[in-house]
Amino acid sequence: MKSNNVRSHYNNDVVARAGNAYEFDRWHKDPISQAGYEMTKKGIQRSLQGISSKNCFELGPGAGTWTKVLCTEFPSIHIDAFDISSHMLDMAKGNIKNCDVNFIEGDFNSYDGKEGVYDLFFSSRVFEYLPDQKEAVATIAKILSPGGVGIVSTKFPRGKTSSNLHEGRVHPETFRKFLKAAGLETVSVYPLTVTVPFFKSSKLNRLAFVLLAQLPLSFIHSLFCESYIIRFKKS
């Protein structure tokens, strides 16, 4: 996926489809979307447990959905929210209140790290868009302070892609290799959102989440996992 395609999608296609109601359109428009939102929120909150962050780099805040969770979990946090889409950043600016957030527009694969280093790197459902994922992980390692923690959620490569936007889906084992090459240590990998194949049922998806989401990602999850969340650290 080329960066220009991602930028165009979120600056143009999303505007045509949802206008300024992207957060509702993405996470709350129907029971299945709502179930995905609840799974994602629970998984993110669990991954943040035990972390004390003052300075966070968030890649791809979108409309600020998970930025709000970071602000709630860490009331005194400063966040540099970095997104390729000006439209997404405009929505995030309107959604984030009473939190120290600096909004930055740019392409992460060209990011020079000039804002400094961070004790937390966070990104949800962005990694599959990056054209050079190995280089992106190297940049993450560069901007994480010693002892810093990274949390990334991304699409699991199950079945056919719903659109070419997700052609960069990466298997967790490949992600682990990227982390190792960059000198980062994998801490945990868990399923984040799960869907039951052939059934468009929020109830079945929620049940599968209850049964599977507490277990580290394994082969059985490949049948149900839509996205996963990986936590890593810098020594």
Domains of the chain, residue spans? 3-234
pLDDT band at 1 (very low <50, low <70, confident <90, very high): low
pLDDT digits (tens, 9 = 90+) for 168-200: 999 999 999 999 999 999 999 999 999 998 899
Q: Give me the mean pLDDT over the 81-104 stretch.
A: 96
pLDDT digits (tens, 9 = 90+) for 2-40: 788 999 999 999 989 998 899 999 999 999 999 999 999
CATH code of domain 3-234: 3.40.50.150
Secondary element (H or E) of residue 91:
helix 86-95
Read off the pTM. Answer: 0.95
**Could you give the 3-state DSSP secondary structure of residue 16?**
helix
